[in-house]
Amino acid sequence: MGKISTKDVEYVAGLAQLALDDAAKERLAREMDEILSYMDKLNELDTANVEPMMHAMEMTNVFREDVVGESLPREIALRDAPQHDGEYFIVPKILDTEGSA
Amino acid sequence: MEYEAVIGMEVHVEINTKSKVFCACSTHFSAPANTNVCPICLGMPGVLPVLNREMVNKSVAAGLALNCTISRWSKLDRKNYFYPDMAKNYQISQYDLPLCSNGHLDIEVDGQPKSIGITRAHMEEDTARNTHTLGGGQSGVDFNRSGVPLLEIVTEPDLRSAQDAYAYLTALKQILQYLDVSDCNMEEGSLRAEANISVRPKGASVFGTKTEVKNVASFSGVMKAIEYEIKRQVELIESGGAVEQETRGWDPDRGITFTQRKKESAHDYRYFPEPDLVPVVVDAAWEQRIRESLPELPLPRKHRFMEQYGLSDYDANVLTGTQAMADYFEAAVQADADAKKTANWIMGDLQALLTEAKADISACNVTPACLAEMIRMINDNTISGKIAKEVLAEMFVSGKSPKQIVEEKGLVQITDASAIEGIVRQVLADNPQQVEQFKAGKDRVVGFLVGQVMKASRGKANPEKVNEILRNELAK
Amino acid sequence: MTAWHEKTAHEIRNAVRARHVSAAEVAESYLNRIAAVDPKVDSYTQVWADFARAQAARVDEKIARGEDAGRLAGVPIGIKEVICTKQGHTTCSSRILEGYQSPHDATIIRKLEAEGAVFLGKLNMDEFAMGSSTENSAIKTTRNPWNLRCVPGGSSGGSAAAVAADLCAFSLGSDTGGSIRQPACLCGCVGIKPTYGRVSRYGLVAFASSLDQIGPLTKDVEDAALALNVLCGKDAMDATSANLPVPDFTQALTGDIRGLRIGMPVECFTESLGAEMREKVLSAIEVLKGQGAEVVEVSLPTLDYALAVYYIICTAEASANLARFDGVRYGFRHPAAGDVREMYVKTKTAAFGPEVRRRIMLGTYVLSSGYYDAYYLKAQKVRRLIKEDFDRAFTKCDIIVTPTSPTPAFEFGAKTADPLEMYLSDIYTISTNLATLPGISVPCGLCASGLPAGVQFMAKPFDEATLLRVAHCYEKNSGITLGKAPIA
């Protein structure tokens, strides 16, 4: 086992909200290990003085003006929801209180 | 051992743009659930955000008012976490390059000046609202609030008490309202405050372990929560325990804080630059334009009121509480009313009327010019102070000028000595028992007799004249 | 006379506008062709027969009234499943969006409709555009019209197969690391990825936001120019779309490439390139030389790192872009979930395919606490080095030429066991996405196996005109005609 343990896989799956059985964890650990080892070739390059390319475009300051436009009719907004009551999107119980800005 | 508290605040304010930060939906607060929504703020597949220019303008204005450095170059980032109030399951926010940083807000606590460092103020989007009121343990989600612009303002750990925190929040709210940047309405959730609290032995240089208190619905609640948390932490340490780093909620009914989330489940937010948006560059010219448009801020205005109008610290503070109040006061003074008396009328009777009517001074029927006119009428003895109260109440309802009200109701003050003498004599004749008591040396019945005269004149007699004539008549 | 479905988009457009044929007849010809042939190819996920007929009728009415019916009057096209349409469903070939009806049309869909295009339906793809063979579709298996035992390439496999089998006049694809050009190459058609920012991404379901571009897959280069004329341009709904004028690309197809400098990156013509592919690309370069172009050697020393950079950046962005598929507002929700966390986990685990899950895992990992600098930040830095390599190369040349794909189409299952092996399919195409350049794949003959090969040209950012001019000149002078795919 190299860079990635099944414990790492478990942690990442938790962040990504995925469930993996033991076999899947082991397979993913192996595959990710292979891919990440391949990615390690980037360390051959000295990038100490390189600015990261954070945006694909070199543009700045693209804005919309503060004008209210049309919203969706509520029946369209809710149309594809797995569950709704005509007013709200309905979700199962929320157990934890984390979240919210 | 003596302890001191170390407190830092994180405040989220909704910026009052007309449309949302990344889409054209209205930000209106009380719309029916899920009617101010579109594919963008619902996080539907294939949509892209475009930043509202006014969000940048208002955020820079707030930053300048908080003495911040405005970043020449800043960017937006994705903050990743899963929660049903997050349309995209990431929030567009700012991570390492906030729009505003390194500022300070000057406050006064018990008349003492204090400077609170502002670490940063950054742009982000608000989340949807979950309701937990549906049956079967299910929750409903309303996305009207999703994408409403938010400014998160973070202080340095410069606050030392609940009073400091209260003064900071009050000053911050005042400034943001002066700038017309936010309504700062805690009940509607347009201002939300969190406090990071730790305690340490007084004089120590290292920080204690902090807790974060969230979800408090009022400034006084924040103050109580901080007071409680300081006491809890000190008692914990004194009894040999240790403070745990955690997020705590506030239960206003029981008046206690309680554990919400332990540090172990701290988030790994995986911030990275938002590829759908381009960087924001606020150049010197743009910054200058906004700087020039800033109004006079509350604290400088307060000091000017004290100096220019000779007001007390307290009065100047109250009158600069909101921009509308301060503007009203200055308009009345400029309409040739005595400053000190104007202050008293605004803070006294007018405020009482406003409070009773749950109205704001900006929508008051009594114009500053009319208030000034009324005060002049008191000064030149046209009406008594007592009558003026009646006049003001009428002005407040009808919006009529004081002159018109006084004329219509015949409220002109009686200063004519012979008219007053007539009333006084009648009152003395009607109250022989009190006259006897006076003659027996009981001076305080004069008050009663003055009252009777005022009553008989239906309040219109000049009280000073009444006093004078009454004493003359009794002395006869 | 050749059937209408065998003709190019510009031939159809001209004939419809000249009233030589009605849009309705052309649409019918394609619908019949789809009914007859697509059961073998399986490129379409949805066929919108009635919708297409109604659109064609509107074009015919306009023409009857003497109105301008648009630059794509009566041209029947197919749309990749990843592009939002109010009509039908937008599923990204994923179970998680099964039955999803988009409330909005992509900007380019509105533009195409306004220019008289007729929408035949939606085309299969790798789930969320992740893959190089269309084997990752949750809907169906699309086959290569040149050999039904082989993959059509991916992720726009349905788009490429449909063009190759004459099941649409042209199709729309999306290209994040080669997803238009590689399947175009494997199916023997033309595929162009415009410069990043050229075409609005509004309504393109995001895979990797800083790399994704929409582009056409066409029967020839002239059709690519025609399609780009309509697709390109600034969109207020896409902050990353470029505010630059769009030239008439069909005017660029002059046939004259005298004096143009064609750059051959030494790194792309090493021993690792198979002899057959090498010979084909080199003879393509000879054709250009014969037309008066000058061939120069250029060097792209960081090219070797492109694949690593690409799979860090695209998976990182994808891990955030795909987070929204959670069963709350639309799409699949696992029925057996007692609370919200359980709903997320069961929904995502059940409805994302293995490749999507793998990329979400990788992307989450490279962004996670402690690894951001080592992977994501490092990749962004090397991305800049790659872009700078191209900038330098383009001081010495106007066009860079490489193979499109290291191999022709491969058989089903040949690369599914080893993800890294599959990723190597994109080795020649991903660098253009990283450097935001336009790139085009043009057929350059058939291999001994009877499968098409393709040559890739790349140009400076926003110089699609020169790119199309060279591709067109090559196409006209190569002497190569693939003929029709056998569909067997």
Interface contact C368-B48, CB threshold 8 A:
no
Q: Are C272 and C365 within 8 A, CB to CB?
A: no
CATH for B417-475? 1.10.10.410
In whole angstroms, give the CA distance from residue C312 to residue A38.
11
Residue type, position B77, single letter = D
DSSP result, C328-355:
SSSS---S--SBHHHHHHHHHHHHS-HH
Phi/psi of residue B316, nearest 5 degrees: -60, -35
Query: Which two structure tokens, joined as six digits, stand for C388?
Result: 């700078």
Residue B152, helix vs strand vs coil: strand
Nearest to A93 among C331, C338, C346 (CB): C338
- Other CB atoms within 10 Å distance of the CB of residue C169: 33
Nearest to A45 among C236, C342, C385 (CB): C385
Q: Are A80 and C100 within 8 A, CB to CB?
A: yes
The active-site residue out of C93, C133, C179, C405 is: C179
What pLDDT sits at residue B440?
85
Residue of B nearest to C103 (CA): B39
Distances (CA, A) of C247 to B267, C9, C253: 49, 19, 12
Interface contact C346-A94, CB threshold 8 A:
no
Express each pLDDT in B165-219 by its tens digit: 999 999 999 999 999 999 999 888 999 999 999 999 998 999 999 999 998 889 9
Q: Where in chain B is the domain with CATH 1.10.10.410?
A: 417-475
In whole angstroms, give the CA distance from residue A36 to residue C222.
42
Confidence band of A100 (pLDDT split at 50, 70, 90): very low
Q: Are C108 and C45 within 8 A, CB to CB?
A: no
**Chain C nearest CA to B121, separation (Å):** 23
What pLDDT sits at residue C246?
96
Nearest to B124 among A15, A61, A101 (CB): A101
Task: Taking residues B21-48, report their average pLDDT.
Answer: 97
Q: Looking at the predicted structure, is the pLDDT value of residue B421 above 90?
A: no
CB-based contacts of C314: which residues, under 8 Å, 6+ apart?
C176, C177, C207, C208, C211, C359, C363
Q: Are C162 and C168 within 8 A, CB to CB?
A: yes
The active-site residue out of C29, C155, C200, C319 is: C155
What pLDDT sits at residue B115?
97
Confidence band of B300 (pLDDT split at 50, 70, 90): very high
Task: Name the more confident of C2 and A7.
Answer: A7
Does the annotation count C209 as an active-site position? no
Residue type, position B426, single letter = Q
In a mutational test of the A interface, the residue from C105, C381, C391 whose CB has the highest number of chain A CBs within 10 Å is: C381
In terms of Cα–Cα distance, which of B222, B209, B111 is closest to B165? B222
Confidence band of B155 (pLDDT split at 50, 70, 90): very high
Helices (H) and strands (E) in chain C, counts: 15, 11
One of 2.60.120.10, 3.90.1300.10, 3.50.50.60, 2.60.40.1930 is the CATH number of C4-253, namely 3.90.1300.10
In a mutational test of the C interface, the residue from A25, A26, A32, A39 whose CB has the highest number of chain C CBs within 10 Å is: A39
CB-based contacts of C289: which residues, under 8 Å, 6+ apart?
C262, C295
In chain C, residues with a C-beta closer than 8 Å to the C-beta of A44 are: 305
- B16 in reach of chain A (CB within 8 A): no
**Chain A nearest CA to C259, separation (Å):** 30
Note if the bond before C155 is cis, omega within 30 degrees: yes
In a mutational test of the B interface, the residue from C324, C356, C360, C366 whose CB has the highest number of chain B CBs within 10 Å is: C324
Residue type, position B68, single letter = C
Top mean pLDDT of B355-369, B409-423, C436-450 is at: C436-450
In a mutational test of the C interface, the residue from B272, B277, B281 whose CB has the highest number of chain C CBs within 10 Å is: B272
How far, rounded to the nearest angstrom, does the alpha carbon of residue C252 sit from its chain's CA centroid?
22
As a 3-state breakdown, chain C gives helix, strand, coil percent values, each rounded to 5, of 45, 15, 40
Query: Which two structure tokens, joined as six digits, stand for C273?
Result: 């390139």
Q: Looking at the predicted structure, is the pLDDT value of residue A101 above 60?
A: no
Neighbours of chain A (3+ CB pairs under 8 A): B, C
Confidence band of A19 (pLDDT split at 50, 70, 90): very high
Q: Is residue A94 part of a domain?
A: no
What pLDDT sits at residue C45?
98
**Chain C nearest CA to A10, separation (Å):** 10
Q: Are C460 and C270 within 8 A, CB to CB?
A: no
In terms of Cα–Cα distance, which of C379, C485, C64, C399 is closest to B273? C379
Nearest to C324 among B88, B268, B270 (CB): B88
- Count the alpha carbons within 13 Å of B12 in the hemisphere toward its beta carbon: 20
Q: Is residue A28 part of a domain?
A: yes
- Other CB atoms within 10 Å distance of the CB of residue B398: 13
CB-based contacts of B177: which residues, under 8 Å, 6+ apart?
B183, B184, B322, B323
Task: Taking residues B147-169, report their average pLDDT.
Answer: 97
Does the annotation count C86 as an active-site position? no
What pLDDT sits at residue A96?
64
- C240 in reach of chain A (CB within 8 A): yes
Express each pLDDT in C286-325 by its tens digit: 999 999 999 999 999 999 999 999 999 999 999 999 999 9
Q: Looking at the predicted structure, is the pLDDT value of residue A62 above 90?
A: yes
Express each pLDDT in C71-115 by its tens digit: 999 999 999 999 999 999 999 999 999 999 999 999 999 999 999
Q: Where are the beta strands (DSSP E) in B160-210?
A: 191-201
Distances (CA, A) of C428 to B88, B377, C267, C376, C442: 33, 90, 10, 22, 14
Query: Which two structure tokens, joined as six digits, stand for C204?
Result: 């393109």
Crossing angle (nearest 10°) for helices A22-39 and C354-367: 60
CB-based contacts of C43: which residues, under 8 Å, 6+ apart?
C78, C123, C124, C142, C152, C157, C158, C159, C161, C162, C165, C167
Task: Name the more confident of C2 and A82.
Answer: A82
Residue C54, helix vs strand vs coil: helix
Residue type, position B223, single letter = M
Chain B, 433-462: which have a CB under 8 Å from a chain C CB? none
Q: Looking at the predicted structure, is the pLDDT value of residue C141 above 60?
A: yes
Residue type, position C376, single letter = Y
Regarding an ipTM greater than 0.95, the answer is yes
Confidence band of B104 (pLDDT split at 50, 70, 90): very high
In whole angstroms, give the CA distance from residue B168 to residue C9.
67
In chain C, residues with a C-beta closer than 8 Å to the C-beta of B275 are: 208-210, 240, 317
Q: Where are the alpha helices (DSSP H) in C107-199?
A: 107-114, 157-164, 181-187
Q: Are C385 and A47 within 8 A, CB to CB?
A: yes
- Other CB atoms within 10 Å distance of the CB of residue B356: 9
Q: Looking at the predicted structure, is the pLDDT value of residue B129 above 50?
A: yes
CATH number at residue A15: 1.10.20
In whole angstroms, give the CA distance from residue B17 to residue B11.
18
Express each pLDDT in B426-461 by its tens digit: 888 898 888 888 888 888 888 888 888 888 888 788
Query: Which two structure tokens, joined as six digits, stand for B238?
Result: 């004194």
Residue B74, helix vs strand vs coil: strand
Task: Name the more confident of B263 and A44.
Answer: A44
- A19 in reach of chain B (CB within 8 A): no
Q: Is residue A21 part of a domain?
A: yes
Residue B234, helix vs strand vs coil: helix
In chain C, residues with a C-beta closer than 8 Å to the C-beta of A72 are: 103
Does the annotation count C155 as an active-site position? yes
Q: Are C394 and A45 within 8 A, CB to CB?
A: no
- B270 in reach of chain C (CB within 8 A): yes
**A63-64/B129-131 β-pairing:** unpaired
Task: Taking residues B246-254, report their average pLDDT.
Answer: 92
Task: Taking residues C400-417, report their average pLDDT.
Answer: 95
Interface contact C320-B87, CB threshold 8 A:
no
In whole angstroms, give the CA distance from residue B89 to residue B82.
5
Task: Taking residues B33-49, report their average pLDDT.
Answer: 98
CB-based contacts of B225: which residues, under 8 Å, 6+ apart?
B195, B213, B216, B250, B257
In terms of Cα–Cα distance, which of B36, B119, B127 is closest to B89? B127
Interface contact C203-B46, CB threshold 8 A:
yes
Q: Are A55 and A39 within 8 A, CB to CB?
A: no
Q: Looking at the predicted structure, is the pLDDT value of residue A97 above 70?
A: no
**A89-91/B139-142 β-pairing:** antiparallel
What pLDDT sits at residue B456?
84
Question: Please, what is the average pLDDT of chain B?
Answer: 92
In whole angstroms, give the CA distance from residue A35 to residue C361.
12
What pLDDT sits at residue C421?
83
What pLDDT sits at residue B439?
85
In whole angstroms, give the CA distance from residue B216 to residue B167.
16
In whole angstroms, give the CA distance from residue C179 to residue C191.
9
Interface contact A94-B42, CB threshold 8 A:
no
In whole angstroms, give the CA distance from residue C168 to residue C162.
6
**Chain B nearest CA to C194, separation (Å):** 17
Pick from A81-90, B252-261, B401-410, C342-351: least confident: B401-410
Query: Which two structure tokens, joined as six digits, stand for A82?
Result: 């797995």
Q: Looking at the predicted structure, is the pLDDT value of residue A99 above 60?
A: no
Query: Which two structure tokens, joined as six digits, stand for B278?
Result: 């381009």
User: Which residue range is the domain that position A34 belongs to?
Assistant: 6-44
Give the H or E element holding residue B108: strand B100-109
**Chain C nearest CA to B277, separation (Å):** 6
- Output the CA torsion sign for B128, B132, B138, B140: negative
Distances (CA, A) of B333 to B224, B329, B345, B367: 39, 6, 12, 12
Q: Are C71 and C230 within 8 A, CB to CB?
A: yes
Q: Looking at the predicted structure, is the pLDDT value of residue B231 above 80?
A: yes
DSSP result, chain A:
--S--HHHHHHHHHHHT----HHHHHHHHHHHHHHHHHHGGGGGS--TTPPP---SS-----EE-S---PPPPHHHHTTT-SSB-SSSEEE-B--------
In whole angstroms, give the CA distance from residue C82 to residue C131.
13
